[in-house]
Amino acid sequence: MKDRKYVVALIALVIVYVFLEMRKGESLDWTASFHNRHSIPFGTMATHDLMKDMLSDSAVESSYETVYEIATEGEERNLLILAERIAFSDDELEKLLDYVNRGKTVIIGGKEFLGGLRDSLEFTPLVTDPLLTYDLEAIQENLAGESKQLITTDLGGVAKSYSFSSVATTSAILSYNEDNFNVLAKNEAEQPVLLEYKGSKGRLILTTMPLALTNYFVLNEETTSFASSVLSLFPEDEPVLHVEYYQLGRLESQTPLRVVLANRSLRWGMFILLFTLLIFIFFESKRRQRIIPLIDPMKNLSVEFVETLGRLYYRQKDHRKLATKRVTYWKDFVRRKYNLRTDNLSNQFTEDLAKKSGLDIKEIELLLVSINHVEAGNEISLEELMLMEKQLNAFYGIE
């Protein structure tokens, strides 16, 4: 009864806790993941859908390899690279520029550009509001407020303005080599936020507004056209590879457990299951076990019975009956222990018995001579009985 009270109390506690959690409402994740399977504000699920509409359903895929690996493998698709920080090694940068020079289009979006890319192409990026770049609370407040920044594009000779939340415009280009770039978009301070590199056969597009290509701004009526305009810089009839390595790495830890933990409903289901299992184990381990009585194994009375009969026949001097009983017991022993038939004591039987018992075949042949003599119905003398008894004891291993 006491255990049952504990179980009921724990179950009631779990139910109350789950009810409160379900009423609590899930807080929005403002992490900039740029991941194609994330529907959070700064994921790119909607971006991929937009590109599939603009290109085709099979024309957009993701990769978690470096630019060096992609170019080395002979990839021919155009590339989209989005990350908070863009940093290429010297080898990666060389492969990237060669890739663009082969006539490919590469769009790179980053709040910060580090390493050799800015030195090689001769431009200087600027983060205008570093606090807003990484403070999730500031991002949420800014999106809910009225802080706006006007972005003006010049694509195809047509100027157009877009009103962006300042969250998406925390970076810009402070200075650049005008011989190397065409400016495609500027902020209110006349600082470039979208540039095209001139020095290659293909197209290398740089933007300091990677968030403008995420779910939040792609789905926003005021800014969705900006995302469409930038993505339209990709050739319409060529596939695009979204390189997610520079934000997410290899992404090798996509195990079933990670998928379960990423889903709120599945996560809670797993927690409740584990908690219930722990309750069961706890109370089951405390359950009293009945004492199992020790049962003595049944005695083999056949040996005692034969020995008793043997003593009886020996006192009556009926040697043949005693010998017959001994032979019957021996045959039963051979059938049970060696799994041999004893209705035909042939040469094959002799060989099989010698192999299975490990005894010398000559000893077994002599024993079978005595047994055949008994089974022939002949009278058995005391000497013959004692000889057979000696042979049987040797067979049983009795000294």
Is 219 part of any domain? yes
In this predicted structure, which of 229-238, 246-255, 289-298 has the lowest mean pLDDT? 289-298
Dist. CA 366–CA 76, nearest whole Å: 90
Other beta carbons within 10 angstroms of residue 380's beta carbon come to 20
Is the entire prediction scored with pTM above 0.85?
no
- Residue 192 phi, psi dihedral angles, 5° rounding: -65, 140
Query: For residue 10, is pLDDT > 80?
Result: no
Same domain flag for 225 and 330 = no
Is 204 part of any domain? yes
Span 315-324, mean pLDDT? 74
Question: Which two structure tokens, joined as six digits, stand for 240?
Answer: 């695009």
Span 228-248, mean pLDDT? 93
Same domain flag for 244 and 343 = no
Same domain flag for 52 and 148 = yes
Dist. CA 127–CA 172, nearest whole Å: 7
Span 108-130, mean pLDDT? 88
Q: Which of 248, 270, 285 is the last residue of a domain?
A: 248
Is 71 part of any domain? yes
Other beta carbons within 10 angstroms of residue 206's beta carbon come to 27
Measuring CA to CA, how many Å separate 180 from each of 129, 209, 378?
27, 20, 123
Query: For residue 254, is pLDDT > 80?
Result: no
Query: For residue 218, is pLDDT > 90?
Result: yes
What was the pLDDT predicted at 301?
Answer: 45
What was the pLDDT predicted at 42?
Answer: 92
Same domain flag for 124 and 240 = yes
Same domain flag for 358 and 213 = no
Amino acid at residue number 67: V
Digit-coded pLDDT (tens) for 174-187: 999 999 999 999 99
C-beta separation of 182 from 206 below 8 A: no
Same domain flag for 59 and 174 = yes
Is 229 part of any domain? yes
Dist. CA 10–CA 57, nearest whole Å: 50
In this predicted structure, which of 25-29, 326-330, 349-353 has the lowest mean pLDDT? 25-29
Which residue has better confidence, 315 or 213?
213
Same domain flag for 43 and 188 = yes
- Residue 363 phi, psi dihedral angles, 5° rounding: -65, -40
Number of separate domains in the chain: 2
Greatest alpha-carbon span in the chain: 132
What was the pLDDT predicted at 274?
Answer: 82
Is 3 part of any domain? no
Query: Between the CA atoms of 163, 164, 169 and 175, what dihedral angle is there, to the nearest 10 degrees?
Result: -20
Is 145 part of any domain? yes
Is 304 part of any domain? no
Beta bridge partners of 62: 242
What is the number of helices (H) and of strands (E) in the chain? 17, 11
Beta bridge partners of 204: 106, 197
What was the pLDDT predicted at 144?
Answer: 60
Residues 6 or more apart whose Cβ sits within 8 Å of residue 383: none
Query: Between the CA atoms of 88, 89, 94 and 99, what dihedral angle is there, to the nearest 10 degrees?
Result: -40
Question: Which two structure tokens, joined as six digits, stand for 328?
Answer: 């019957």
The band of 164, judged by pLDDT with boundaries at 50, 70 and 90, is very high
Query: For residue 257, is pLDDT > 60?
Result: yes
Query: For residue 317, is pLDDT > 80?
Result: no
Look over the chain and give the mean of its residue pLDDT values, rounded to a whole number: 82
Query: For residue 12, is pLDDT > 80?
Result: no
Question: Which two structure tokens, joined as six digits, stand for 340?
Answer: 């041999």
Query: To which residue do tokens 């045959």 refer?
Result: 331
Query: For residue 250, is pLDDT > 70?
Result: yes
The band of 139, judged by pLDDT with boundaries at 50, 70 and 90, is low
Query: For residue 367, is pLDDT > 60?
Result: yes
Dist. CA 144–CA 209, nearest whole Å: 19
What was the pLDDT predicted at 271?
Answer: 78
DSSP letters spanning 353-368 = HHHHH---HHHHHHHH
Query: To which residue do tokens 């740089």 refer?
Result: 206
Dist. CA 208–CA 215, nearest whole Å: 17
Same domain flag for 323 and 219 = no
C-beta separation of 306 from 323 below 8 A: no
Digit-coded pLDDT (tens) for 280-310: 776 666 665 556 666 665 454 445 555 555 5
Dist. CA 3–CA 282, nearest whole Å: 10
Q: What is the CATH number of the domain that holds 205?
A: 3.40.50
What was the pLDDT predicted at 375?
Answer: 84
Span 116-123, mean pLDDT? 92
The band of 111, judged by pLDDT with boundaries at 50, 70 and 90, is very high
Span 44-49, mean pLDDT? 94
Q: Which of 248, 269, 298 is the last residue of a domain?
A: 248
Share of the chain above pLDDT 70, in %: 76
Show the domain range for 101. Answer: 26-248
Is 300 part of any domain? no
What was the pLDDT predicted at 337?
Answer: 87
Digit-coded pLDDT (tens) for 188-214: 999 999 999 997 899 999 999 999 999
DSSP letters spanning 28-97 = P-------TT--STTS-HHHHHHHHHHS-GGGEEEE-S-HHHHHHTT--SEEEEEEEEEEE-HHHHHHHH
| 9-18, 41-50, 287-296, 385-394: which is most confident | 41-50
Residue 210's nearest CA partner among 124, 115, 138, 111 is 111
Question: Which two structure tokens, joined as six digits, stand for 335?
Answer: 């059938």
